[in-house]
Amino acid sequence: MTATTIDLEAHFYTQAAFDYLAKRKDFPLFVKEKEPDSYNLRFTDQIALFQNTEFINILCDVGAKRIKAMDAAGLDVQVLSFSSPGVDELDPDHAAAASMAAELNDQLFELTKQYPSRFLGFAAISPYDVKNSVKELERAITQLGFVGWLAHSNFGAEKYFDDKQYWPLLEAAEALNIPIYLHPTTPLMKEFGKYGFALGGPPLGFQFDAALCLLRMIYAGVFDQFPKLTIILGHMGEALPFLMPERIDWSYANPNISILPGFIKERPAIKRTPSEVILENIYVTTSGRFSNPLLEYVLKVMGEDKIMLATDYPYENLNQSMNFIRTSGLTDKTFEKICFKNAAKLGIKLPS
């Protein structure tokens, strides 16, 4: 198979961002540990991600070394996005978040111009000053040529997209006809912190926080208000396909409970069930998942028109990601849809 391949989840960071995190007084923090070449990205007092210089250099590299790794894996294009902690996780330092977002978007724009056949960009947006954040999103799309916006699943304790203060940003995304890549970050509920990153990170916490964010959006009526809004979920849908349709729609479809007037009075009054919203407004990617039975299941639930390629580089192995999709037994038609055609329908493609 020689189809074009577009990676929708490829992260980068900057040394300036690490320097900023090292000086913060509030979480998230970047902490130099006593052991040689040992650092922790500390999201809470319990949850931290260990990093060393080698990994930090890979994460910050957006030049020749990254392209060499892409070539070795047979990957044509990466849509670059600023990693976690993102500018939308810097509460309460809202001024720094806004200035960092603009700076990062300018840097990413220069990268896309330097490597126009290899890199596209997802905007980094600080959500805290919504009026100016809408302007920055519009600038990133209409002036810088970015193909979407990567947002994290919470913006601080109890700060999720269902809060109407953030809805002007969702309205702008719908009007600009761009997708929002809803990327997980650490859930801030204390119950997820007891076992550190092993619980609060990718094994469970990341997926559950992203799923929680999307379901809160659905129940709040976001997709009634913005019916054309498109959301992308990584990691084969952040566990949500496994709840479809009967569990995720339980409050609206259970033949015994859902018809009771008292229950109807208490449940969110939305025009479409959660599974209908997911099937109509949500795309999922393959990032960080390497199971053929899982891919087969998600194809059956979501359909081949709603799945796209992603690697989660450099947190996941680029060669493993690309080898998985190439050896998964997909037909040429399905492979091409996943690797570039579905993304192109969302405007995620190289300029003509």
Closest to 103 measured CA to CA, from 180, 15, 231, 22 = 15
Closest to 86 measured CA to CA, from 155, 132, 178 = 155
Closest to 109 measured CA to CA, from 124, 95, 94 = 124
Question: Can you tell me the distance from the alpha carbon of 66 to that of 72, in angstroms, rounded to the nearest whole number?
Answer: 10
**Encoding tokens for residue 275?**
């599974």
User: Is 305 among the residues known to form the active site?
Assistant: no
48: left (phi over 0), alpha (psi -120 to 50) or beta: beta
Catalytic pick from 88, 91, 209, 312? 312
Residues identified as active-site: 312
